[in-house]
Amino acid sequence: MRDDYGKKTATPVKLHGRNHNQQGTRMRTLNEQDFLARRREARLSYAIYLESKESQDECYDMVATGLQQPAHVLQHIPPENFMTATRERAWDGVDQLALAYSAGHALDELRAAYPTILGYWLAFARHDMAFDAQAGEAEQGFPHFALPGDGYEQVNRMVCLGILLGWGSLLPRLAPVIDFNNHDKDGLLERLLAYFVAGRDAAWPTCTRQLPYVNTLKIFAADKEARPALMQAYLQQWYEASRHEPYYDSHQRDTSFWGYWSWEAAAITCVLDIDDSSYRGAPFYPADLVALCRRQGSGPGA
């Protein structure tokens, strides 16, 4: 089944493999003392952090174990099961990057995890394409991450964190995952990707989700001297402008809260080399990620 944006829903995540608690490459889990000392997002509780982190790690284990079954077992598993399992892992991966940042994990730990998470996205894309190839007509032709829907926020996070964590060189691998069956381009994503990926349309005039993202386009168009004030205004308006986004008020309504951050404000600051001294302490601005990006010289052309 799929929702109105083409996102596949209501299918069990099953590969029939047993969980052998494989560790693999993953971020460690903070104890409560370290969490309280390092936490970047005051609204995130240790209970929610721990529940989310353990659930995500369990998903990693189950999918890895399922995919490592013998070939004669794998060949009898429906393609839809591979698609739903790897999709859940891809979703959990980008959520864990945000969760770990909010919880106070070291930035080097997040940076080390990013290529693994990208691998999860690429694996989902492969299995989703295999599923679409054999699915009925009603189930074909949908994006991996639908930009008009909730998939936009996931893609925005993945692109921005790739830039901020110093992995702009990997964005050419991410771009085809974003493009697959997304027929409407997005002005913000096109402008960010254009610094790292050939052939993007950096003049695209609209955004698929409109607010808050469409307000970034005037920052790209502005003179260098005007950009700090425009970004400061963007951050001041960001949360209320996000009221139609899936993360809005998420700390009050469910257990999937991973923090409030304008990842795009930070990524734009880096690619445009904006002086952020006037808004470095603003709410929702991940200033230490910008500092990391600049310290590593990982912006465009690095």
In this predicted structure, what is the pLDDT of residue 26? 85
- What's the pLDDT band for 77 if we cut at 50, 70, 90? very high
Q: How far is CA 296 from CA 191, 288, 290, in A?
A: 21, 12, 10
Model confidence pLDDT, tens digit, residues 158-201: 999 999 999 999 999 999 999 999 999 999 999 999 999 999 99
CA 245 to chain centre: 14
Say if CB 159 and CB 192 are below 8 A apart: yes
Model confidence pLDDT, tens digit, residues 230-259: 999 999 999 999 999 999 999 998 678 999
How far apart are the C-alpha atoms of 75 and 135, rounded to whole Å? 17
Model confidence pLDDT, tens digit, residues 264-302: 999 999 999 999 999 999 999 999 999 999 998 866 755
By the 10 Å C-beta count (0-12 exposed, 13-18 middle, 19+ buried), 21 is classed as exposed
In this predicted structure, what is the pLDDT of residue 22? 41
In the chain, where the domains are located = 32-296
Is residue 2 pLDDT above 90, yes or no?
no
Q: What is the CATH number of domain 32-296?
A: 1.10.3920.10
* pTM for the model: 0.92
In this predicted structure, what is the pLDDT of residue 124? 99
Give backbone dihedrals phi and psi of 2, rounded to 5 degrees, phi first: -135, 150
Residue pointed to by tokens 């695209």: 204
